[in-house]
Structure 1
């Protein structure tokens, strides 16, 4: 696989550091997205040609390692972008893609559209069955990036993920005093009911094959699908080879780490 020397421009990297995300156009082929959608449609139990079968606002599907999903996550363009944002040899090659919340046009509330960050670990003393106990800490244990893979065309009415630009900096400052244990989603809901509102909002729209690469602390939220087509999107992590580092002997900080240093210093 020939990996391009650079997938992202200096301006895009600077935007990632300050805003917490970057959009990568044509990150994987639309033909691969189409193959993936066929598998996902099958597993929803719904008929793409019969809207009467679209009875739920959200059908949540688990992780997939089928070939289209492995191909989507491992294009040369994306590998180059992972290198640029996380650092060469600092991430693990994806073996597939994670959860797919498939969002159908519906007037019913989806029930999962609150603002949040994606946590990545629990403590042995936490109730493992309660998702509000999932945690994040300042060195982002278990997560190098949050990634949004669009497997269908997503316009403004098609339930695009809502993003709060710059929120990752506030989250970093919030997590800094809490050490390795970090804070759970339950703690964050209690401590910051405004959910790190920066007063700005962006929407993760784009044609199938678009990928948003996001800082692991970026605050985001789902929303109802008010369009007329089904939205297919994966939201996996990029797994790290180790924790982020805020002090490296030779400098060489990745943009993910540079954002943390910007927030704290």
Structure 2
């Protein structure tokens, strides 16, 4: 029998901390192929830092074969089953927007703490996009590393355990949820005391995060550009918080645990 992607200790850590790190979730060769595509799309030359003129360059949704392969490895699909539930998530055919971060001193202007919204994307005002306690429209937040990332290479900052604070904040709003503007109104102060982890790792590492996890970008202080995708895993069915303990997924269990405190 093939070993499962996540052991019980990792699943418990996901429930309590809000994320789990999977090293080697997709091959380095796939990351290299994808990165070559991103360099071409960026208009920048990997061998000429003079062409790196912006602190962050965003590349639109990428669905070429290396990206599809990276999102659908057996280890990731098994981990999705373990965290969200079998047949309760939709396979990805692309990896969404890539923020490529370059080692420049200019302020990237996007380093505030936040969560990723999960519905009402039809509004051009992204601060009006919404999230509710059932995380309608989002099963996981995922961070795919397509380059090696150390502490100086602008790794995403994570507020460990902050998904529990956000679940409690969202609960009184019911199915309507809260907008990003509502949630950011106090600077996510409910999670301000949480310890910070950094999403570092080798190319091919993936962080699978609870959809309520508070996180933030940061300026690049290293020497090599950072390539990362941050797509959602979409649900195939709504979350159900009223299930018995043994039937709830770890994503649902984390929310129920937060509301029980």
Which of residues 118, 121, 127 in structure 1 aligns to 2:119?
Answer: 121
Partner Cα distance (1:16, 1:249) in 2: 19
SS in structure 1 at match of 2:248: coil
Structure 1 residue 199, shift from structure 2 partner: 2.9
Q: Is the 8 A contact 2:114 2:215 kept in 1?
A: yes
Other-structure match for 1:26 = 24
User: How far does the alpha carbon of each residue in 1:119-170 deviate from its partner, in whole angstroms, 9 at most, with x for none?
Assistant: 011287xxx1111111100000110000000000000000000000000000
Q: Is the 8 A contact 2:102 2:226 kept in 1?
A: yes
Structure 1 residue 181, shift from structure 2 partner: 1.1
1:262 aligns with 2:260: no
Counterpart mapping for 1:128-147 below 5 A: 128-147=123-142
Q: Is the 8 A contact 1:146 1:236 kept in 2?
A: yes
1:107 aligns with 2:105: yes
State the TM-score, normalized to the length of structure 2.
0.96
Partner Cα distance (2:223, 2:245) in 1: 52
Partner Cα distance (1:122, 1:28) in 2: 31
SS in structure 1 at match of 2:63: coil
Which of residues 179, 183, 186 in structure 2 aligns to 1:188?
Answer: 183
Partner Cα distance (2:245, 2:163) in 1: 25
SS in structure 2 at match of 1:102: strand
User: How far does the alpha carbon of each residue in 1:85-142 deviate from its partner, in whole angstroms, 9 at most, with x for none?
Assistant: 0000100011110110000001001101100000011287xxx111111110000011
Partner Cα distance (1:4, 1:147) in 2: 24
SS in structure 2 at match of 1:95: coil
Partner Cα distance (2:181, 2:140) in 1: 22
User: How far does the alpha carbon of each residue in 1:235-261 deviate from its partner, in whole angstroms, 9 at most, with x for none?
Assistant: 000000122110126841000001001
Other-structure match for 1:201 = 196
Q: Is the 8 A contact 2:245 2:253 kept in 1?
A: no
Partner Cα distance (1:80, 1:15) in 2: 17
User: How far does the alpha carbon of each residue in 1:158-192 deviate from its partner, in whole angstroms, 9 at most, with x for none?
Assistant: 00000000000000000000011100110112145
Q: Is the 8 A contact 1:169 1:260 kept in 2?
A: yes
Q: Is the 8 A contact 1:92 1:241 kept in 2?
A: yes
1:152 aligns with 2:150: no
Partner Cα distance (1:214, 1:234) in 2: 13
Count of residue correspondences: 260
Which of residues 35, 39, 42 in structure 2 aligns to 1:41?
Answer: 39
Partner Cα distance (1:207, 1:174) in 2: 34
SS in structure 2 at match of 1:153: coil
Q: Is the 8 A contact 2:162 2:194 kept in 1?
A: no
State the TM-score, normalized to the length of structure 1.
0.95
Change (3 A) 1:88 1:47: same
Change (3 A) 1:198 1:250: closer
Other-structure match for 1:229 = 224
Partner Cα distance (1:198, 1:101) in 2: 27
